[in-house]
Amino acid sequence: MADKKALDVFKTICDMLDSHHFNYVKDVEKLTVRITMSGKDFSMEFKLWLYEKSDIIIFDCTLPFKFCEEQRSNGALAVCYINYHLADGNFDCDVRDGRVKFRITTSYRGCNISTGVVDFMFNIACQTVDRYNGRLALVNQGKLDPKDITKNL
Amino acid sequence: MPTEQNATGARKVFDAFCEYLDEHAWKYNKDAQQLTISLNAKGDDLVIPVRISFDENLHIILLLSPMPFDVPEDMRKPMAVAVTAANLCIVDGSFDYNVENGNILYRITSSYRDGAFSKESLEYLLMCACVTTDKYNDKFKDIVDRKVSTDEMQKIIFNKED
């Protein structure tokens, strides 16, 4: 069973989502919320969860496509170019199976988390994924050079 | 442009961070105007420099730990595979890799919006920066020194996490 602090933070995440009237699926035992958002290129599947071992909130979003085998090293390269330009959060690329995920975290150790913090994390995650998922898909299709992925945004 | 209220929030976190470092006898340099802190931690293999700053627009604390070496030009593309493998195994923070100049740095952030910080959370961020950098800096250095290939290192990183 999760501790009270984690449950309070989890409630704050749900309160933020409720305040926006978002539809989501929550699992209180696993301290996890799943939500689908519509982006300009793809729909985005978000998982909002607590990693109690480190007292951190993690929002992650797995992209709806995988890099094909011949483009995986380019996928890794593209993700490096993007991450270098991000102030908060990062993309992870698994070169073993081609999956790409965006991840953003914040610590709640010894402090109170407001709905404003959760709202900020969710906005950054949605904006960043929406900004880059179409471009990452173009790299996967061989239509965009990884070094150009952050240009003219 | 940061507002006065944003700057006050950042200063509170800056002051709390300096207090934490003083309480634990860390040696560090601070710039109270720019609200930056820099320190060196001792790692197993290499010195771990950590720079602490604040993004007053985003209300986030940023800890950056640059590797004390650059990736040579002929290894810059393959190094991306090793950096992404390391990132995949990290729960918090990430290695940012500038493919153009070969710089690698570890970055961890946390929001301080609405007073969301404590000395415990600041300690966590600093420990995370030191431990994660210490875990991977020698691995990246081995690649740069051509002791292992990026493919071999990728296997080493994933096997240790499996």
B113 and chain A in contact, CB less than 8 A: yes
**How many helical (H) and strand (E) elements, i.e. helices and strands, does chain A have?**
3, 6
pLDDT higher at A43 or B34? B34
A17: alpha, beta or left? (left if phi > 0; alpha if psi -120 to 50): alpha
pLDDT at B1: 53
Lowest mean pLDDT among A119-128, B126-135, B145-154: B145-154
Q: How many Cβ pairs closer than 8 A exist between chain A and B? A: 118
Asked if the Cβ–Cβ distance from A109 to B115 is below 8 Å, we say no
Q: Cite the DSSP H helix spans in chain B.
A: 4-23, 76-88, 119-144, 150-161
List chain A residues with pLDDT less than 70. Answer: none
Closest Cβ opposite residue B111 in set A55, A83, A117: A117
A76: in domain: yes
Would you give the end-to-end CA distance of chain B in angstroms?
A: 45
The CATH number given to whatever domain includes residue A124 is 3.30.1460.70
- B106 burial (CB, 10 Å; 0-12 / 13-18 / 19+) is buried
pLDDT at B6: 63
Question: Is B162 a residue whose pLDDT tops 60?
Answer: no
Domains of chain B, start order: 4-161 (3.30.1460.10)
Contacts of B104 in chain A (CB under 8 A): none
Closest Cβ opposite residue B94 in set A76, A77, A90: A90
Q: What is the pTM of this model?
A: 0.94
Task: For residue range B44-71, list pLDDT tens digits in order.
Answer: 888 999 999 999 999 999 999 999 999 9
Residue environment code for A80-103, b if the CB has 16+ CB neighbours within 10 A, otherwise e: bbbbbebebbbbbbbbeebbbbbb
The interface predicted TM-score (ipTM) is: 0.94
The answer for residues whose C-beta is within 8 angstroms of residue B16's C-beta and 6 or more apart is: B117, B118, B119, B122
A153: in domain: no
A110: in domain: yes
pLDDT at B124: 97
pLDDT at A11: 96
Residue B58, token pair as written in the block: 């985003």
Lowest mean pLDDT among A73-87, B109-123, B138-152: B138-152
As for how many domains chain A has, the answer is 1
